[in-house]
Amino acid sequence: MNKVISAGTGRRKTAVARVTLLEGTGKWTVNHVELENYIQSEALRDYLKQPVAISGFDVSKVDVAVIAKGGGISGQSGAIRHGLAIAITRADETLRPVLKKAGCMTRDSRMKERKKPGQPGARKRFQFSKR
Write out the residue range of the structural domain in which residue 51 sits.
4-101
Nearest to 99 by CA among 58, 45, 56: 56
Domain CATH code at residue 70: 3.30.230.10
Asked if residue 110 belongs to a domain, the reply is: no
- The answer to whether position 95 is within a domain reads yes
In a domain, 109, yes or no: no
Q: Is 116 contained in some domain? A: no
- Report pTM: 0.89
Reported confidence tier of residue 58, pLDDT bands at 50, 70, 90: confident
In a domain, 13, yes or no: yes
Is residue 129 in some structural domain? Answer: no
Instruction: Please count the structural domains in the chain.
Output: 1
- 16-38 pLDDT, tens digit per residue, is 999 999 999 999 999 999 999 99
pLDDT band at 15, cuts 50/70/90? very high
* CA 116 vs CA 12, 54, 63, 113, 126: distances in Å: 23, 41, 45, 9, 12
82 occurs within a structural domain: yes
Asked if residue 79 belongs to a domain, the reply is yes
